Amino acid sequence: MGIRLRALRTVHMLHRQGRLAVLALCCLLLVATAALAQTDPLPSWNEGPARQAILAFVQATTDAANPGYVPPEARIATFDQDGTTWVEQPMYTPLLYCLARLRALAEEKPELADAEPFKSVLSGSMEHLADLPINDIVKFYTATMTGMTVEALGGQVRQWLATARDARWRRPYTELVYQPMLEVMQFLRAHGYKTYFVTGGGQGFLRAYAEKVYGVPPEQVVGAMNATTFSYDANGKPVLTEAPRLLLNTVGPGKPEGIQLMIGRRPQAAFGNSDGDKEMLEYVQAGGGTRLMMLVHHDDAAREYAYGAQSRVGTFPDSLMAEAAQRGWVVISMQKDWKRIFSWE
Amino acid sequence: MGIRLRALRTVHMLHRQGRLAVLALCCLLLVATAALAQTDPLPSWNEGPARQAILAFVQATTDAANPGYVPPEARIATFDQDGTTWVEQPMYTPLLYCLARLRALAEEKPELADAEPFKSVLSGSMEHLADLPINDIVKFYTATMTGMTVEALGGQVRQWLATARDARWRRPYTELVYQPMLEVMQFLRAHGYKTYFVTGGGQGFLRAYAEKVYGVPPEQVVGAMNATTFSYDANGKPVLTEAPRLLLNTVGPGKPEGIQLMIGRRPQAAFGNSDGDKEMLEYVQAGGGTRLMMLVHHDDAAREYAYGAQSRVGTFPDSLMAEAAQRGWVVISMQKDWKRIFSWE
């Protein structure tokens, strides 16, 4: 067999192998697709109206033949964090972080511990934090989360999260994330939705771990927005420093305002758990068409907490329950709707 | 042939047809991929260092074997608008819009025309606008772009764009977009980059047409940021109103500050054309690794404009040219690097 012929045969074999590889790939894809279709996307959810609402919403908005179809670019879902995707009792974790930072700073600068509101914060009970007026909360944030570069803030938050433990479960706060909500986020993303956080906590705090813990990138974190200041360090290198100026308080009406600022269009779905999420859900629903508004209701004292109308943290007043019923918002019962709450259960 | 047998044969045929369809699809994909690889992604660019810099940057940052590789989630490129992606002479288009609105408003409310700075703005030359101090610019913005719902603002902008014509080419402003820059944006997106605008013009102004004209969605428009106010209209429907309060002036140092607020990580590439983009390019470069910093230089009086150091609009001082040379930023010569400037040429 001449060289030319051998070369031709080799080319022919490679072609055949190429075709076979393509065929094998196609088979693999078909099998994978079939397997995916059979896998329950919400394994931690019990059968019930909440689970059904999520499945029906995704089905309606992603099926081009459905009148509720939503084009991919408009598929946006927003999530509150504290009490909606992770535990917020006995106190919001972002405030626990500020408290820990304040204690550390007070050791370096004892004069800080004598000035108000820090004196009350350091001597009072942890629950007292929730009663602080917004001006004092801002002072508290300013003292503990500004003055450093944006990279340093992220590093401080991650360092704290690596060692701090929750008092009840003795676990890192980032393990107190609700597994059913992670599944909803993943399910939505698998169907072309962009998942955003819209939290009352600091934007820089949540950004420090949102990508790792929730798969939500920094550009999809709407939170209490601090101004930063551009300047040059001693070596002439440009730096951004967290400035003591709050641009937007993303609680209540500040949630739709933050959505407008960072997203610029109305989400198709919104998830919250308290009075502070009311305006976000109203705003989403007012867009008309197929929208999904859901509220996590903490009614499971055994596995997590049961609270609502009387709680200082994550207040869920009777008026909110009445509004949900009137407007057709779906209330998630942790007790009935969630098969398990944490990934490690 | 029995019914059962016929049914089996039909199933078999459908299977065969399905396999054939899959094979056909694969062939199509292979052909399309090959065709794509042979198509020049930057057909409006002449051979030269600018074109080469773009191609080399994309090659290095998207090839997993290259030390300059950038994972998909970090692929972010930011673009100034006025003078970088569309014409800014003889005056920034966002300001021309405000001027047109001010004229219309002055007809309804003659007292507006007598108050400063509006009196000077209405009686002075168009070039005078560029000399206004920032406080007067803010008053000018406030009078013309706030007080309406966010949807009404978008509608007003689109209505103006549909009828307004540039004085030189007699074309809509949205046709004065630079074709070579559109190609860069598309080329970057085709390689997994998210393209953002970071403009000194109003965020609401650019959002009104960014998706249609540039393929940039509202959530990727960083611009002069107005506060909005959440409230309920007479029918109890939630509305967001443009408030007379500027949260962030996105010029100069305000560009990296706006990037931090809305993106939360450092872009890999940045494109500008004037002194107002300097800090953005410095900030991008300070991230180290493979970064691309480019400046459009307007040196083509015949096909567009030639301006720079002496211009009130889009100032490109000698110090910026020196900094570009020193830092290795790539200066794009419109005259030499661009084969054509507009899509309709």
Of B23, B230, B248, which is closest to A253 when you measure between CB atoms? B230
Of A48-57, A271-280, B28-37, B311-320, the range with the lowest mean pLDDT is: B28-37
Q: What is the pLDDT, as a whole number, of residue B126?
A: 78
For A283, name the nearest residue in chain B, comparing CA atoms only.
Answer: B238
- Rounded average pLDDT over A305-310: 88
Question: Hey, what are A110's tokens?
Answer: 């004892």
Q: Which residue of B has its CA nearest to A263?
A: B219
How close A206 comes to chain B (CA, Å)? 11
A281 to chain B: closest CA residue: B238
Question: CA–CA separation, A23 vs B327, rounded Å?
Answer: 51
Q: How far apart are CA A273 and CA A308, in angstroms?
A: 9
CA–CA separation, B305 and B307 (whole Å): 6
Range 87-146 of A in CB contact (< 8 A) with B: none
What residue ranges in A48-113 does DSSP mark as E strands?
76-79
Judge whether B211 is closer than 8 Å to chain A, CB to CB: yes
Instruction: Residue A204: name the closest of B219, B227, B254, B260 by CA.
Output: B260
Task: Report B:224-263 residues touching A (Cβ under 8 A).
Answer: 225, 227-231, 237-238, 240, 247-248, 253-254, 256-257, 260-263
Nearest CA-CA partner of B19 in A24, A18, A14: A24
State the count of interchain CB pairs (< 8 A) between A and B. Answer: 102
DSSP-derived 3-state class of residue A4: helix
Poorest-confidence range of A129-133, A191-195, B20-24, B221-225? B20-24
Give the ipTM of the model, two decimals please. Answer: 0.89
Q: pLDDT digits over A63-75, tens only?
A: 999 999 999 999 9
Q: Enumerate the residues of chain A whose CB falls inside 8 A of the CB of residue B73.
A: 211, 217
Model pLDDT for residues A143-180, shown as the tens digit of each residue: 999 999 999 999 999 999 999 999 999 999 999 999 99
Q: Which of B26, B30, B238 sits opposite A279 (nearest CB)?
A: B238
Rounded CA gap, B4 and B135, in Å?
Answer: 84
Mean of per-residue pLDDT scores for chain A = 91
- The DSSP-derived string for B292-315 is EEEEEE-B-TTTS-B-STT-SSS-
Task: Select the residue of B23, B260, B263 nearest A228 (Cβ to Cβ).
Answer: B260
Residues of chain B with C-beta less than 8 angstroms from the C-beta of A33: none
Chain A closest CA to B222's CA: distance in Å?
8
Q: What amino acid is encoded at B285 in this protein?
A: Q
Q: Which residue of B230, B240, B262, B268 is the best one to mutate when testing the A interface, meaning the one whose CB has the most A CBs within 10 A?
A: B230
- Top residue of A206, A231, A262 to mutate, by most chain B CBs within 10 Å, is A262
Overall size of chain B counted in residues: 345
The confidence score (pLDDT) of residue B15 equals 56
With CA atoms as reference, report the closest residue to A332 among A293, A296, A303, A291: A296
Name the pTM for this structure.
Answer: 0.89
State whether B279 and A240 contact (CB < 8 Å).
Answer: no
Q: Is B219 on the interface with A (CB under 8 A)?
A: yes
Q: Quick one: tokens of A149?
A: 């570069």
Three-state secondary-structure class, residue B148:
coil
Pick from B26, B211, B283: CB nearest A26:
B26
The shortest C-alpha distance from B340 to chain A (Å) reads 31
Say which DSSP state B39 is in: S
Among A230, A260, A265, whose Cβ lies nearest the Cβ of B279? A230
Find the CB nearest B219 among A229, A248, A262.
A262
Q: What is the token pair recorded at A59? A: 């089905």
Quote the CA–CA distance of B80 and B199 in Å, as a whole number: 5
pLDDT at A338 over 70: yes
Listed in sequence order, the residues at least 6 apart from B43 whose beta carbon sits closer than 8 Å to its beta carbon are B183, B339
Alpha helices in chain B (DSSP H): 3-38, 49-62, 93-108, 110-114, 118-123, 134-145, 150-163, 179-190, 203-207, 210-214, 254-262, 278-285, 318-327, 334-337
Average pLDDT over residues A54-82: 98
Chain-centre distance for alpha carbon B215: 9
B2 touching A (Cβ < 8 Å): no
Answer yes or no: do B286 and A238 touch at CB < 8 A.
yes
Contact between B230 and A283 (Cβ < 8 Å): yes
Rounded-to-integer distance, Cα B270 and Cα A261, Å: 22
pLDDT tens, position by position, for chain B (345 residues)? Answer: 444 545 445 445 545 555 555 555 555 555 555 555 569 999 999 999 999 999 999 999 999 999 999 999 999 999 999 999 999 999 999 999 999 999 999 999 888 888 888 998 898 877 778 888 888 888 889 999 999 999 999 999 999 999 999 999 999 999 999 999 999 999 999 999 999 999 999 999 999 999 999 999 999 999 999 999 999 999 999 999 999 999 999 999 999 999 999 999 999 999 999 999 999 999 999 999 999 999 999 999 999 999 988 888 999 999 999 999 999 999 999 999 999 999 999
* A21 interfaces chain B, CB cutoff of 8 Å: no
CB contact under 8 A, A265 and B211: no
Q: Which of A203, A257, A265 sits opposite B230 (nearest CB)?
A: A257
Question: Closest to B228 (Cβ–Cβ): which among A260, A263, A282?
Answer: A260
Q: Nearest chain A Cα to B149, which residue?
A: A260
Give the side-chain half-sphere CA count within 13 A for A210: 27
